[in-house]
Amino acid sequence: VNDERDFSRPVVMRRKALPRKTANTLRVLIVADTHEQEWELGRLPEADVFIHAGDILEGSSYKNDSTNMGALHRFRAWLKEVKATRKIVIGGNHDAYMEQIGEAKCYEELSSKPHELDDPMNYLEYTMDDCSLPDVNLIGSLRVFGVPFADGNTCNNAFRKEVPSMNHIKNCLHRDARARGERRPRLDILVTHGPCPSIAEALKPRLLHVHGHMHKMHGIYLPGAAPQKRKSYKVGVLTVCGSVLDNRYQFTQEPIVVDFPLV
Which three-class secondary structure string do you get for 68-111?
A: HHHHHHHHHHHHHHCCEEEEEECCCCCCHHHHHHCHHHHHHHHC
pLDDT band of residue 5 (cuts 50, 70, 90) is: very low
- Is residue 32's pLDDT more than 50? yes
Decide: 196 and 227 in contact? Cβ < 8 Å.
no
Check residue 3 and give its pLDDT: 47
Vertex 159 angle, CA 156 and 164, to 5°? 135
| Between residues 28 and 155, the one the model is more confident about | 28
Check residue 196 and give its pLDDT: 94
CB burial readout 16-42, b (16+ within 10 A) else e: eeeeebeeebbbbbbbbbbbbebeeee
pLDDT band of residue 167 (cuts 50, 70, 90) is: very high
Among 33-37, 67-71, 118-122, which is the least confidently predicted range?
118-122
**One-letter identity of residue 170:** K
- Is residue 134's pLDDT more than 90? no
Q: Give, as one character, the DSSP assignment of residue 140.
A: S
Mean pLDDT of 186-195: 96
Q: Could you report the per-residue pLDDT of 51-73, keeping only the tens digit for each?
A: 999 999 998 667 899 999 999 99
Reported residue count of the chain is 263
Mean pLDDT of 106-121: 85
Helix (H) and strand (E) counts in the chain: 5, 13
pLDDT band of residue 261 (cuts 50, 70, 90) is: confident
Mean pLDDT of 254-262: 92
What is the CATH code for 24-261?
3.60.21.10
Decide: 164 and 198 in contact? Cβ < 8 Å.
no
- Is residue 194's pLDDT more than 60? yes
Check residue 161 and give its pLDDT: 85
Nearest to 136 by CA among 16, 53, 22: 22
Most confident of 15-19, 51-55, 175-179, 250-254: 51-55
- Is residue 79's pLDDT more than 90? yes
pLDDT band of residue 11 (cuts 50, 70, 90) is: confident
Decide: 256 and 232 in contact? Cβ < 8 Å.
no
Q: Give, as one character, the DSSP assignment of residue 152.
A: S
- Order of strands, sheet of 47-52, starting from the edge strand that comes earlier in the sequence: 121-123, 84-89, 47-52, 25-31, 256-261
Most confident of 53-62, 149-158, 237-246: 237-246
Most confident of 27-36, 111-120, 157-166, 254-263: 27-36
Rounded to two decimals, the pTM is 0.93
Are β-strands 256-261 and 25-31 bridged in parallel, bridged antiparallel, or unpaired? antiparallel
Q: Give, as one character, the DSSP assignment of residue 156.
A: -
